[in-house]
Structure 1
Amino acid sequence: MKRQLGTNGPLVSAVGLGCMGMSGVYGQSNEADAIATIKRALELGHNFLDTADFYHAGHNEMLIGEAISGIRKQAFLSVKTGMMMSPSGYSRVNGRPDYIHNAVMNSLQRLKTDYIDLYTLARVDPTVPIEESVGAMADLVAKGIVRHLGLSEVSATTIRKAARIHPITAVQTEYSLWTRDIEAETLPTIRELGIGLVAYSPLSRGFLSGTIKKPEDIEDHRRFMPRFQGENFYKNLELVDRIKILANKKGCTPSQLAIAWVLAQGNDIITIPGTKRIKYLEENIAAANIQLTWEELQSINAIIPPNMVAGERYPEKFMSMLNK
């Protein structure tokens, strides 16, 4: 299934592939399995591959570059930039024009390509006017290095400022049954402006898959995220049990129900669940064929209303970078 990304944007797969987890973010990963998963996604016609230049210091881009070697035209490459990484994690945002110009050239080299389909500013740099950052990205479009521009985790005000500098094709942000704050301002704004939504973490970092049953099941950085900690964990586990019941009634997995719900929120939305295994890739892709009726959507909203999840989605340090 294909959807148009924005009013005047390209056709891309409704269910894309988030590649971040292939570079050790969620535990150990096997490069051969990851490459096979990317190739399988393209084989099935799911062309939207999402990465960032700061995922494991460029490793993720190199992995994708190897996977798409010889079949570049089958892939739609979505690349984020603008985050500086330190040994302790993402340390700060950098939206300076010179940084963006240098970063894109490094990405092209790692991806083994001469253009990027969608180039997205991962976070807004509070020290640089958004007009300058987007202006630098617009230069890349003029040079043919980049085809479309995107923003991530931005406020409605920033979206409007950016769109006056250059057309914005997509806004990427977290959106799921558990994260619905964009419905207040961001979603109405991008719809007014004809911008598509790329919804990441539709499974709330795996929690909505139903496979996480106790805190000990988490052995990666999710242990430091509020929703996975203490009482929040057990409160949220109760919500997952509700999702399992709904999925059983629908005859699908909890993951598929969660993805289908996101897609049902509008034809201008695509989603990019992450995985590093073909088994889960195929399960996620199959969610695009699940149609939720109006009655079913109302039932889901009644059982899992907005803002019911316990805990913020990021630690305080990273929450401060959102909606800028």
Structure 2
Amino acid sequence: MKYKKLGKTGISISSIGIGAWQLGGPLVLDGVHDGHPDPGRDNVIKMIHELGEHGVNFIDTAEQYSHGESERRIGEAIKSQRDRWVISTKFGHKVGEGNRRHIDTSPQSIMPALEDSLRRLQTDYIDVYHYHTIPDLEHLDESAEILNEAKKKGMIRALGISTSNTAIVKELIKRDMLDVVQYVSSLLAPAYEMQELINSNSLGAICRGVMAGGCLSGRYFHSKLEVKTGDRRSWGDEDYSRFQVFEKLIPEDMTMAQLACRFVLDQKACQTIILGAKNLKDYEIAIESVFKEALSKELKLKLSEVSKELGFLG
């Protein structure tokens, strides 16, 4: 495995990380599927251990995922190896009464949410603590005091936000309450403005959405993806077969999934990619991309041209 420093935090993380949304089991939120079929608690713990043996040390979750079950499984998996893992979790989105989404980023919500996550994760500190949604801007200065105090106490090592909104990132930078950004980036939509903001402020960068909802995995180039109505886990009615135009650009020693990973790994504003895989094999394929050569400028240009032809920003 290869490792990079997460911005200015001093935290060293593996180039491939575990995305744990899919590891907690099913959840219906606001009447919409917001979880995944349950891979089984024991299988999840086993896979986390196996990925640890591959050198993966970064894992990302959230209090909302499967109503806390994702955090609980991670806590159980790494409790005897806490010092070798970097844990990222998020607050602000909760499962409320009647399985309705409850959004609360008010100052008074922060410490209870943090303490609940610490308990579920069976740890006394979180490496990266993210806003999971747009913060309460009216009381942001008060929130900054609370989060930085938790940081001083060692409950949090780094502060972050999961967003593609550059304006919000700028607001957090102004208040010295941002160390890391988790954002969506793929060869379809590299998020160049966010990349520039991250690089110019020496922030840590965690990339998600690399497979663009499965469009770039290659798995559905020639087979139909079956999704339930209202399932937020995919790109809905997207015709996945149209992305098979990328096949002609895949280097001989790569799969489509590895090409998608390598494109993002080549970005300066990327220290790790978090994947939503549910099995070891898919992670192993992604890990192989870490050791592939960087893509040539010519190939990146061709990939961007295809992305534009498909209606995306290349």
The interval holding the TM-score normalised by the smaller chain is 0.7 to 0.9
| Runs of 4+ residues deviating >6 angstroms | 87-90
1:81 alignment partner AA? F
Measure the CA separation in 1 of the matches of 2:173 and 2:71.
27
**CA shift in 2, pair 1:217/1:36, >3 Å:** same
Tell me if structure 2 keeps the 8 A contact 1:174–1:201: yes
Which residue of structure 1 lines up, in the alignment, with residue 21 of structure 2?
20
**CA shift in 2, pair 1:109/1:279, >3 Å:** same
Q: What secondary structure, in the 3-state scheme, does the structure 2 residue paired with 1:198 have?
A: strand
Query: Relative to structure 2, which stretch is displaced further, 109-118 or 148-157?
Result: 148-157
TM-score normalised by structure 1 residue count: 0.84
Which residue of structure 2 lines up, in the alignment, with residue 44 of structure 1?
54
Tell me if structure 2 keeps the 8 A contact 1:130–1:161: no
Which residue of structure 2 lines up, in the alignment, with residue 183 of structure 1?
192
Measure the CA separation in 2 of the matches of 1:55 and 1:224.
13
2:206 aligned to 198, 203, 213, which one?
Answer: 198
Residue 139 (str. 1) matches residue 143 (str. 2): no
Deviation at 1:187, TM superposition (A): 1.9
**CA shift in 2, pair 1:166/1:224, >3 Å:** closer
Deviation at 1:45, TM superposition (A): 1.5
Which residue of structure 2 lines up, in the alignment, with residue 237 of structure 1?
241
**CA shift in 2, pair 1:83/1:306, >3 Å:** farther
**CA shift in 2, pair 1:272/1:221, >3 Å:** farther
**CA shift in 2, pair 1:224/1:81, >3 Å:** closer
1:59 alignment partner AA? E
Deviation at 1:157, TM superposition (A): 3.2
Count of residue correspondences: 301
Deviation at 1:220, TM superposition (A): 7.8
Residue 109 (str. 1) matches residue 119 (str. 2): yes
Deviation at 1:173, TM superposition (A): 1.3
Deviation at 1:81, TM superposition (A): 0.8
Measure the CA separation in 2 of the matches of 1:245 and 1:119.
41
1:71 aligned to 72, 76, 81, which one?
Answer: 81
**CA shift in 2, pair 1:158/1:216, >3 Å:** closer
2:252 alignment partner AA? K
Tell me if structure 2 keeps the 8 A contact 1:210–1:254: yes
Tell me if structure 1 keeps the 8 A contact 2:63–2:94: no
Which residue of structure 2 lines up, in the alignment, with residue 130 of structure 1?
140
2:209 alignment partner AA? S
Measure the CA separation in 1 of the matches of 2:144 and 2:291.
36
1:275 aligned to 274, 277, 300, which one?
Answer: 277
Q: What secondary structure, in the 3-state scheme, does the structure 1 residue paired with 2:36 have?
A: coil
Q: What secondary structure, in the 3-state scheme, does the structure 1 residue paired with 2:147 have?
A: helix
TM-score normalised by structure 2 residue count: 0.87
Deviation at 1:166, TM superposition (A): 2.8
Runs of 5+ in structure 1 lacking a partner?
311-324
1:258 alignment partner AA? A
Per-residue CA deviation, residues 65-92 of structure 1 (Å, 9 max, x unaligned), is 1110211111100011111224776624
Residue 159 (str. 1) matches residue 169 (str. 2): yes
Deviation at 1:120, TM superposition (A): 0.6
Deviation at 1:308, TM superposition (A): 2.0
Measure the CA separation in 1 of the matches of 2:298 and 2:155.
46
The alignment-based identity, stated in percent, is 25
**CA shift in 2, pair 1:19/1:302, >3 Å:** same
Which residue of structure 2 lines up, in the alignment, with residue 308 of structure 1?
311
Tell me if structure 1 keeps the 8 A contact 2:23–2:44: yes
Tell me if structure 2 keeps the 8 A contact 1:150–1:172: yes
Measure the CA separation in 1 of the matches of 2:311 and 2:258.
20
Query: Relative to structure 2, which stretch is displaced further, 295-304 or 89-98?
Result: 89-98
Measure the CA separation in 2 of the matches of 1:133 and 1:223.
30
**CA RMSD of superposed structures (Å):** 2.4
Q: What secondary structure, in the 3-state scheme, does the structure 2 residue paired with 1:208 have?
A: coil
Which residue of structure 2 lines up, in the alignment, with residue 6 of structure 1?
7
Query: Relative to structure 2, which stretch is displaced further, 209-218 or 163-172?
Result: 209-218
1:86-105 superposed matches below 5 A:
86=96, 91-105=101-115
Runs of 5+ in structure 2 lacking a partner?
26-34
